[in-house]
């Protein structure tokens, strides 16, 4: 039996600033994601400074955080669709807080080991996967589906702003109190997030008859595969993530080999975050003018020439050219994220939202891991800049996937829940 989720009054749903549930969700996202950025910088530093970790051990920490999404992304969606998303978000927040709080405690007791850090980042990664899928699946119950573009624009803009400033805050905090105690700040962020998620009054209960997990996962995969617009979004997003990761994985090596100052690398990455922020802010207006399908493929086509400038990064004018190109590519990513996520939520029936989101997370995170592996292989066999050229080619061509599905994207259909099952 499927319960219809309670929705806010229609007039308020179009005014996000007056929607208390969305304000609480957004505040929770600020706390949780800022904490994640602190952890991104602090946990490797704990391993290096407190445990004298090797490069391989630090790399393993990063890999385990990604592995959680790859291993548990698909079953997480089926599990989330069975129960209460808001309650699950609170539980995962508190679990992540406890996991991260164990790091400074063990450090203080001089009992910290690299294996504990491995377990913490892997289990916290599972919690982050579940939280993010549940949040995306709860959002359509909090705001009217016509308001999803505006709501997603704010969340993408938040991510972009934290990409610019979050890791700078992390660096300042670590310098002030040290890496282990900075991890404790991350735990506090998750507790803050849990408190605000608990304030949300809307719940999306999709309590379906218990079905085998494999069958539910298959239903989510079929829904994405059979819906031409969703299939195109999944493939284009995977290609783009794969390509961007190839560029980013080799950027530090090319940057240092070019004799560029190390502080400039942070400014280069911040330019992409600033572009994403601007793109997210423009997404709703662009979608209103061009329509969903045309906006998605057109911005990708516009980004093709800048993408091909990225591997030219080097001294003098080339660093400025690459920085400007990265900002433009980032703006396209921001626009595509807002419009694409909104479309995904609009065309998916409520009972399938968790599984749809988990399929996308699995595909997109898997592409990141494969992109890093491909960059390492090509960089070793050819050169780091050759890997960057491969990534640039993928970024320049990914829009063609959306162009072939332009009609389905411009006029998406919303199947009945039964159609996905």
Closest CA to 398 of 230, 232, 221, 231: 232
Which residue(s) pair with 205 in the sheet?
A: 84
Residues 417, 351: Cα–Cα separation, whole Å: 7
CA dist., res. 178 & res. 236, Å (int) = 41
- In this structure, what token pair is assigned to residue 343? 């479309």
Q: Give the per-residue pLDDT at 119.
A: 92
Residue carrying structure tokens 């991510």:
159
Q: Is the pLDDT of residue 94 over 90?
A: yes
Take residue 271 and report the two structure tokens written for it: 């330019």
DSSP string, 213-256: HHHHHHHHHHHHHHSHHHHHHHHHHHHHHHHHHHHHHHHHHHHH
* Per-residue pLDDT, 1: 37
What are the residues whose beta carbons fall under 8 Å from the beta carbon of 62, sequence distance 6 or more? 44
DSSP per residue, 248-307: HHHHHHHHHHTT--HHHHHHHHHHHHHHHHHHHHHHHHHHHHH-HHHHHHHHHHHTHHHH
Share of the chain above pLDDT 70, in %: 81
Confidence at residue 141, expressed as pLDDT on a 0 to 100 scale? 78
Longest alpha-carbon distance in the chain:
64
Q: Is the pTM of this model over 0.75?
A: no
Q: How many CA atoms lie within 13 A of 37 on its CB side?
A: 21
Domains and CATH numbers, the chain: 10-207 (1.20.1250.20), 216-411 (1.20.1250.20)
Contacts of 195 (CB under 8 A, 6+ apart): 28
User: Stretch 159-182: mean pLDDT, rounded?
Assistant: 69
Tens digits of per-residue pLDDT, 342-401? 888 788 887 787 778 778 878 887 787 777 778 777 887 888 899 899 999 999 999 999
């Amino acid at each position: 039996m499927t319960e219809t989720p309670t929705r806010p009054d229609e007039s308020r749903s179009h005014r996000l600033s007056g929607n208390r549930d969305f304000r609480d969700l957004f505040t929770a996202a600020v706390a949780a994601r800022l904490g994640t950025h602190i952890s991104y910088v602090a946990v490797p530093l704990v391993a290096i400074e407190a445990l004298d970790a090797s490069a391989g051990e630090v790399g393993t920490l990063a890999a385990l955080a990604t592995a959680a999404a790859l291993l548990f992304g698909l079953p997480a969606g089926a599990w989330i669709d069975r129960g209460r998303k808001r309650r699950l978000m609170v539980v995962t927040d508190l679990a992540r807080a406890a996991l991260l709080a164990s790091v400074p405690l063990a450090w203080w007791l001089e009992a910290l080991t690299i294996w504990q850090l491995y377990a913490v980042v892997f289990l916290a990664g599972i919690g982050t996967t579940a939280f993010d899928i549940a949040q995306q699946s709860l959002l359509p119950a909090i705001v009217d589906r016509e308001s999803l573009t505006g709501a997603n624009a704010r969340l993408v803009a938040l991510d972009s702003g934290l990409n610019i400033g979050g890791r700078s805050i992390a660096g300042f905090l670590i310098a002030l109190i040290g890496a282990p105690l900075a991890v404790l700040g991350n735990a506090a962020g998750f507790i803050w997030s849990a408190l605000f998620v608990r304030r949300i009054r809307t719940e999306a209960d999709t309590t379906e008859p218990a079905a085998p997990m494999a069958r539910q996962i298959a239903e989510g995969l079929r829904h994405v595969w059979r819906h031409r617009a969703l299939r195109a979004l999944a493939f284009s997003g995977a290609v783009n993530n794969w390509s961007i990761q190839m560029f980013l994985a080799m950027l530090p090596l090319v940057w240092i080999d070019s004799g560029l100052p190390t502080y400039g690398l942070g400014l280069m990455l911040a330019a992409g975050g600033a572009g994403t922020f601007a793109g997210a802010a423009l997404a709703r207006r662009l979608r209103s003018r061009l329509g969903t399908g045309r906006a998605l493929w057109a911005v990708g086509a516009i980004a093709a020439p800048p993408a091909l400038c990225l591997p030219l990064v080097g001294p003098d004018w080339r660093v400025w050219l690459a920085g400007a190109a990265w900002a433009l590519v980032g703006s396209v990513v921001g626009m595509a994220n807002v419009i694409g996520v909104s479309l995904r939520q609009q065309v998916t029936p409520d009972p399938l939202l968790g599984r749809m989101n988990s399929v996308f997370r699995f595909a997109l995170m898997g592409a990141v891991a494969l992109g890093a592996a491909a960059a390492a292989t090509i960089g070793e066999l050819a050169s780091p800049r050759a890997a960057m050229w491969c990534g640039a080619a993928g970024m320049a061509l990914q829009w063609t996937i959306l162009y072939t599905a332009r009609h389905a994207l411009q006029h998406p259909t919303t199947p009945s829940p039964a159609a996905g099952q």
